[in-house]
């Protein structure tokens, strides 16, 4: 895997994490992530605040990544940067910096699809990728839920996806309804410790094919809150832990149900999880149990490569470097950007 001596700087700014990483000869030398906490009190990401924070942080984050990797900018061979999908202003903040930096250093730019990078994060530090392919990967992030077929040639094909909210949004919006801070996933996971997952029954949605839909679950949570917590919700109580555990159970059980149906309908050598929600311990345990019961390999990225990070962008860029033509410094960011091939100049 690209162990040819090249050093790539990766830059990620698609949402609320400003990140830079250096990948040399296929090895991650540094991966610096600045997570913006200004959004906590707003219950979700405020796009304008996110863009401003990226502009403020991009230079120190990049310099720290170079310093930690012990490499001079003049020794880089290329810069990989997220070009979409994501928030328009956030993407532009990272891409504008990357274009200027690449121009100044006379380096090629590699525009990377953020969702492809989440999936390819499985192969960072992986000595025997061929044993994992073809893989069925469940990508669960704050903006996307996708079932992705990964071929032996690393070609990615979506075979199912959410028709409305993403799994991460179900965590975040559920937390917001319960009066808990953003991002909701880790907060719900923490609150769920010691709670009973069967305390509050939620329905199992059906979206058709290998697709997902979370809107019915959200309505069900709203009704539960109105009926069972009419006077409000305090995170300190046993009932709160039970509700968080039940909500986590409902989301993860549903994610795995459709995944299992899709897995059985195809031929795969491994099952994988990717994206921010793949940091969820209960979901990881469910995936491991599925793999064990089905005698299949399981690929769970290291925690640092689950949520948004630039190491995955540098790595995905390294796979594209030798096939892309031109310097690509004129590429356009694409807030809505489907998986399936990065546009070149
Ligand atoms: O991939 P990511 O970092 O950013 C996007 O590309 O969207 O995913 C962020 C999402 C958020 O919705 C957050 O609540 C969720 O990942 N998340 C979790 C956990 N850690 C992050 N959800 C459940 N359990 C977690 N431990
Ligand atoms: Zn992401």
Q: Which of 120, 174, 169 is nearest to 140 (CA)?
A: 169
Residue 227 has pLDDT above 90, yes or no: yes
Q: Count CB atoms within 10 A of the CB of residue 84.
A: 24
Q: Looking at residues 235-250, what average pLDDT do you find?
A: 95
Q: Which of 266, 27, 2, 259 is nearest to 133 (CA)?
A: 266
Residue in the block written with tokens 């539960």: 224
* pTM across the whole model: 0.94
The CA 275 to ligand 1 mean position distance, Å, reads: 7
What does the pLDDT look like over 54-63, one tens digit per residue?
999 999 999 9
Q: How far apart are alpha carbons 130 and 151 in whole angstroms?
A: 10
**Residues 240/228, Cβ–Cβ less than 8 Å:** no
CA–chain centroid gap for 144, Å, is 8
Q: Does 325 or 268 have the greater pLDDT score? A: 268
Residue 277 in contact with ligand 1 by CB distance below 6 A: yes
Residues ≥6 apart with Cβ < 8 Å to 76: 7, 8, 9, 22, 105, 107
Q: What pLDDT is recorded for position 71?
A: 97
Q: How far apart are alpha carbons 18 and 27 in whole angstroms?
A: 21
Q: Looking at residues 112-137, what average pLDDT do you find?
A: 94
pLDDT interval class at 3 (50, 70, 90): low
Pick from 86, 119, 276 the residue to mutate for probing ligand 1's pocket: most ligand atoms within 8 Å of its CB: 276
Residue 13 in contact with ligand 1 by CB distance below 6 A: no
H-run or E-run covering 79: strand 78-84
**Residues 176/165, Cβ–Cβ less than 8 Å:** no
Q: What pLDDT is recorded for position 2?
A: 52
Percent of the residues in the chain that have a pLDDT greater than 90, as a whole number: 85
| Angle separating helix axes 238-264 and 281-293, nearest 10 degrees | 40
Residue 256 has pLDDT above 60, yes or no: yes
Residue 16 has pLDDT above 80, yes or no: yes
What does the pLDDT look like over 296-309, one tens digit per residue?
999 999 999 999 99
**What is 136-163 written as a DSSP string?**
EEEEE-SS-EEEEEE-TT--EEEEEEBS
Q: Which ligand is nearest to the CA of 87?
A: 1
Q: Which ligand is nearest to the CA of 117?
A: 2
3-class SS shares of the chain: helix, strand, coil, % to 5: 45, 20, 40
Q: Does 69 or 336 have the greater pLDDT score? A: 69
Q: How far apart are alpha carbons 255 and 264 in whole angstroms?
A: 15
Q: How far apart are alpha carbons 284 and 276 in whole angstroms?
A: 12
Question: Which residues lie across from 27 on neighbouring strands?
Answer: 24
pLDDT, the chain, mean: 94
Q: Looking at residues 277-287, what average pLDDT do you find?
A: 97
Q: Which of 114, 151, 119 is nearest to 137 (CA)?
A: 119
Residue 116 has pLDDT above 60, yes or no: yes
CA–chain centroid gap for 53, Å, is 20
The CA 227 to ligand 1 mean position distance, Å, reads: 28
Cis upstream peptide for 119 (omega within 30°): no
| Closest ligand 1 atom to Cα of 166 | 12
Q: What pLDDT is recorded for position 343?
A: 40
Residues around ion ligand 2, judged by CB within 5 A, are: 141, 308
Q: How far apart are alpha carbons 69 and 217 in whole angstroms?
A: 45
Q: Count CB atoms within 10 A of the CB of residue 332.
A: 11
pLDDT interval class at 64 (50, 70, 90): very high
Length reported for the chain: 345
Q: Count CB atoms within 10 A of the CB of residue 56.
A: 14
Minimum mean pLDDT among 17-26, 117-126, 288-297, 321-330: which range? 321-330
Residue in the block written with tokens 């923490």: 190
Residue in the block written with tokens 């405020």: 46
Q: How far apart are alpha carbons 267 and 122 in whole angstroms?
A: 19
Q: What pLDDT is recorded for position 44?
A: 86
Q: What pLDDT is recorded for position 233?
A: 79
| Closest ligand 1 atom to Cα of 167 | 12
């Amino acid at each position: 895997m690209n162990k040819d001596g090249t050093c790539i700087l990766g830059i990620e700014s698609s949402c609320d994490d400003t990140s830079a990483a250096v990948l040399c000869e296929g090895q991650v030398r540094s991966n610096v992530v600045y997570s913006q906490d200004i959004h906590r009190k707003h219950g979700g990401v405020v796009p304008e605040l996110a863009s401003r924070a990226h502009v403020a942080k991009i230079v120190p984050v990049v310099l720290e990544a170079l310093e930690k990797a012990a490499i001079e900018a003049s020794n880089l061979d290329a810069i990989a940067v997220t070009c979409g999908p994501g928030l328009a202003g956030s993407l532009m903040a990272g891409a504008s910096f990357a274009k200027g930096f690449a121009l100044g250093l006379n380096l090629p730019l590699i525009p990377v699809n953020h969702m492809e990078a989440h999936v390819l994060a499985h192969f960072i530090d992986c000595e025997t990728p061929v044993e994992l392919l073809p893989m069925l990967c469940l990508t669960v992030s704050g903006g996307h839920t996708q079932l992705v077929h990964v071929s032996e040639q690393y070609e990615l094909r979506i075979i199912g996806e959410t028709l409305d909210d993403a799994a991460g949004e179900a965590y975040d919006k559920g937390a917001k309804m319960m009066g808990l801070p953003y991002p909701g996933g880790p907060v719900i996971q923490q609150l769920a410790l010691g709670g009973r997952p069967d305390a509050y029954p939620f329905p199992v949605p059906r979206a058709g094919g290998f697709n997902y839909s979370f809107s019915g679950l959200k309505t069900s949570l709203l009704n539960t809150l109105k009926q069972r917590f009419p006077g409000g919700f305090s995170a300190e109580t046993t009932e709160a832990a039970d509700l968080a555990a039940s909500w986590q159970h409902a989301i993860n059980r549903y994610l795995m149900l459709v995944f299992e149906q899709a897995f059985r309908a195809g031929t795969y050598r491994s099952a994988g999880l990717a994206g921010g929600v793949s940091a969820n311990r209960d979901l990881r345990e469910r995936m491991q149990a599925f793999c064990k019961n089905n005698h299949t390999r399981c690929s769970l990225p290291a925690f640092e490569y689950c949520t948004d990070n630039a190491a995955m962008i540098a790595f995905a860029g390294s796979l594209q470097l030798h096939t892309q033509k031109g310097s690509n410094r004129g590429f356009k960011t694409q807030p809505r950007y489907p998986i399936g091939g990065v546009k070149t100049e």
